A and B are shown apart, each in its own frame.
Chain A
Amino acid sequence: DVKVTQSSRYLVKRTGEKVFLECVQDMDHENMFWYRQDPGLGLRLIYFSYDVKMKEKGDIPEGYSVSREKKERFSLILESASTNQTSMYLCASREGGNSGNTIYFGEGSWLTVV
C-alpha cells in the first residue's frame, strides 16, 4: 500500500513563528502536493511539485513556500505564521505521467496559530 506520512498531526504555533510541515511518501511518486482544507471551501492547492527541485504555485501560495530536495520528501514552510493560516494541511502524492492517476493523501496536520 502507498503510504504518505505527515510528521505532525497537531501543532500549535505562535504568530510570527516559522513553521515546517514535513511529508514523506514511500512509492517513488514523481508528483507531490500540499493542500489546505477549510470547512465549506474544500481542498485548495497551495503548491505542487512534479519532480525533485521542481515546484509550481497552486491557487493560494501566498505566505507559503515549499522544498523538495529528495523525491520522497516534500516540505511546506510558513515563513511567518499568521492566525489566518490556522487550518488542516494535507500532503499528497501521485505517480507521474498521467493526471488520471490516483492521488494518495496523508492523514493531515492540524495547525493552530495563536
Chain B
Amino acid sequence: AQSVTQLDSQVPVFEEAPVELRCNYSSSVSVYLFWYVQYPNQGLQLLLKYLSGSTLVESINGFEAEFNKSQTSFHLRKPSVHISDTAEYFCAVSDSPYVAYDKVIFGPGTSLSVIP
C-alpha cells in the first residue's frame, strides 16, 4: 500500500522569502499526486495535481510542484510567499489511477507559517 511522507511538520518563513515543502511517497508503477491546502478553520481544497504529461505543475497562486519519479518525490515550491499563504499543506497520492474508486492517501501535513 502507498504511504506519504512529509518530513517537515512545521515550516516558518519570512514574507517574500522562497519556500519548499517536501513530499515523498512509496514506490509504485504509476501514481497520481496532489497537494491540498487547508486555511485556518476551513476544509481542504486542491492546490495542484499531477496526473500525466509535464512533470512540473503550477497553481494559480504561484505555487509549483515537480514530479520526480526516480526520487519518488513531489516537492511544493513558491519563490516568494505572502502572509495569506499561512496554512496547512497536505501531499496526497492515489496509487491505482485506473481504479474508479481508488482511495487517496494523505500525508501528515506541513504547517507553513509566514512571518511578517
Interface residues of A (CB under 8 A from B): 4, 30-31, 33, 35, 40-45, 48, 50, 56, 58, 90, 92, 96-100, 102-108
**Contact partners of B41 in chain A: CB under 8 A:** 107
Least CB distance from A65 to B in Å reads: 18
- Is the pair B49, A102 in contact by a Cβ cutoff of 8 Å? yes
Which residues of A lie under 8 Å from residue B94 when comparing CB positions? 99-100
Contacting residue for A40 out of B9, B36, B106, CB 8 A: B9
Interface centre among A42, A96, A103, A105 (most CB of B within 10 A): A42
Assess A42 versus B43: contact at CB under 8 Å? Given A99-B94, A99-B96: no
Q: Sample 27 A-B pairs with CB under 8 A, ordered by A number.
A: A35-B106, A42-B90, A42-B106, A42-B107, A42-B109, A43-B90, A43-B106, A45-B103, A48-B101, A50-B101, A58-B103, A90-B43, A98-B100, A99-B32, A99-B94, A99-B96, A99-B97, A99-B101, A99-B103, A100-B94, A102-B49, A103-B44, A103-B104, A105-B43, A105-B44, A105-B45, A108-B43
Q: Does B51 contact A (CB under 8 A)?
A: yes
For A44, A103, A106, the residue with the greatest tally of chain B CB atoms inside 10 Å of its CB is A103
**B60 in the interface (beta carbon within 8 A):** no
Min Cβ gap A106→B in Å is 5
Residues of B within 8 A of A45 (CB): 103
Asked whether B29 is an interface residue with its Cβ less than 8 Å from the other chain, the reply is no
Cβ-defined partner of B100 (8 Å) among A35, A97, A105: A97
Query: Which are the 8 A-B pairs with shortest beta-carbon distances?
Result: A105-B43, A50-B101, A99-B102, A42-B108, A43-B106, A99-B94, A100-B32, A105-B44
Further contacts, 9 of them, CB under 8 A, given A90-B43, A98-B100: A4-B43, A42-B107, A42-B109, A43-B44, A50-B101, A90-B44, A96-B101, A99-B104, A103-B46
Contact of B51 with A100 in the complex, beta carbons under 8 Å: yes
Q: How many A-B residue pairs have CB under 8 A?
A: 68
- How many Å lie between the Cα of A27 and that of B67 in the bound state? 30
Provide the residues of chain A in CB contact with B32, threshold 8 Å: 99-100
